[in-house]
Chain A
Amino acid sequence: MTPRNIHEYLAEFDDIPGTRVYTARRARQGYHLNQFAMSLMKAENRERFKKDENAYLEEWPLTDDQKEAVLARDYNRMLDLGGNIYFLAKLFSTDGKSFQFAAGSMTGMTQEEYAAMMIGGGRSPEGNRSIKEGR
């Protein structure tokens, strides 16, 4: 069963390799980052953002780290700073990029390598389940 004790519940999340679970801590840290990304759902905001990214980002109470990560399109860093992938999707969509491009960019693979891995059946769960148990 899913544990009812929140400490027990959260304890294992950091043991999953290469994964950031969107917990309350991340949701709070990334609130404005995600709301900024959400604002890009409106065409007029996308236009303003594209025209001057720095100026648009200044309108949001983001940390310098968050702004840098957005400007660099460093999605792993955005996740580390509280971003959620469904919100960040508004950013790569604004760039005209697909989910497969964005997901691939976080793995260190080229888009072609990543697409080929998916056609080959995807990334195996073997060795990717638990850091401490190495399984």
Chain B
Amino acid sequence: MARITAGVTTSHIPAVGAAMDLGKTAEEYWKPVFAGYEWTREWEKEEKPDVVILVYNDHASAFDMKIIPTFAIGAAEQFPIADEGWGPRPIPPVIGHPDLAWHIAQCCILDEFDMTIINEMAVDHGLTVPMSLMFGQVEQWPVKVVPLAVNVVTYPPPSGNRCWMLGEAIARAVDSFPEDLNVQIWGTGGMSHQLQGPRAGLINKAFDTAFLNDLTADPERLRRMPHIEYLREAGSEGIELVMWLIMRGALGGKIKELHRHYHVPASNTAVGHMVLEPVA
């Protein structure tokens, strides 16, 4: 049977992908950003996951204002890399797992989560930067991916509680998939940042640290956190952190923190990254 063996969270800053693509990772500015991912790259080589369920948001790349799905699951064989204005990133296409994606979609719909199913979709930095951070510069990705795109752009995004419950439903779906698969779930986006208006550049280290701590210490607090608190405390784009709660919900009750990384800044944003493991 398939099983969720670990959860990974990370920010998905476009400039981080550009720094990798342009060979700038050894520069003083970028060094401390990337140092915190070295542990995880080694760990991923040991873990050898078969599939990553990758929770992210599209940044006006695959979805424009014509259609705004709250939860969209990618069921394609392959996902091309989006051209976000400077040409697509020079990385391999992302390989999907349509059997698992359709299984999760069907199970979640019966479980009363009305998923949108996407058969053709380019993936942007929200998905590809975490891939590059965890697996480095590769000829082909070592895992298949089930993309789960969440609307965190047009209000209201889903509540933290709804995200958590979807995570639980995804875990139930994975548990009932007959093939023997090592599955990880990644929650991406965040941490504190604001990209717009006179308040742009907001960073709240105290909020971010408490958020990282409470993924293990008090996840119920995070689950109940209203959107307004993210907006006031973590900046307008800090709302992306609700996506981490899909990952957290999927890991279940008790978890163990294996690795943590936090650094300010990368471009406009606080970088946060954690590796978590469910405890039986």
Contact = CB atoms under 8 A, between A and B. Distances in A.
Interface of A: 1-3, 9, 12-13, 16-24, 27, 31, 34-35, 37-38, 40-41, 75-76, 79, 84-87, 89-90, 93-94, 98-100, 102-104, 106-108, 114, 117-119, 121-125, 128-130
B233 A21 contact: no
Contact of A2 (B199, B226, B236, B264): B226
Nearest to B202: A123
Given A41-B85, A99-B268, A121-B203, A35 B14 contact: no
Given A41-B84, A99-B15, A99-B268, A76 B155 contact: no
B164 to A, nearest CB: 12
Interface of chain B, helix or strand or loop or mixed? Answer: loop
Given A13-B231, A125-B207, A117 B59 contact: no
Nearest to A4: B159
Interface string B219-232: 00000101110011
B130 interface: no
B101 to A, nearest CB: 25
Interface of B: 14-15, 59-61, 64-66, 83-86, 153-156, 159-161, 192, 194-205, 207, 224, 226-228, 231-233, 236, 264-265, 267-268, 270
B59 A19 contact: no
B194 A19 contact: yes
A18 B201 CA distance: 11
A108 B200 CA distance: 10
A2 to B, nearest CB: 4
Contacts of B265: 118-119, 121-122
Contacts of B231: 13, 16, 19, 21
Given A22-B153, A100-B15, A100-B268, A85 B201 contact: no
Nearest to A6: B156
B65 A17 contact: no
Q: Nearest 5 pairs between A and B by C-beta?
A: A122-B203, A93-B85, A18-B199, A18-B198, A2-B159
A86 B267 CA distance: 15
A101 to B, nearest CB: 10
Given A87-B60, A122-B203, A125-B204, A12 B195 contact: no
A72 B160 CA distance: 38
A86 B153 contact: yes
A90 to B, nearest CB: 6
A24 B151 CA distance: 13
Nearest to B85: A93
Contacts of A98: 15, 267
Contact of A93 (B86, B159, B199, B232): B86
B227 to A, nearest CB: 5
Given A31-B65, A99-B15, A129-B232, A79 B196 contact: yes
Contacts of A122: 192, 201-203, 264-265, 270
Contacts of B205: 121
Contact of B199 (A17, A99, A119): A17
A106 B160 contact: no
Contacts of B83: 41
Contacts of B203: 118, 121-124
A24 B155 contact: yes
A13 B228 contact: yes
28 contacts: A1-B224, A2-B156, A2-B228, A17-B198, A19-B194, A19-B199, A20-B236, A23-B155, A34-B64, A34-B65, A35-B64, A38-B60, A38-B65, A41-B85, A84-B60, A84-B153, A94-B85, A98-B15, A99-B15, A100-B268, A103-B200, A104-B201, A107-B200, A117-B201, A118-B268, A122-B265, A123-B199, A128-B199
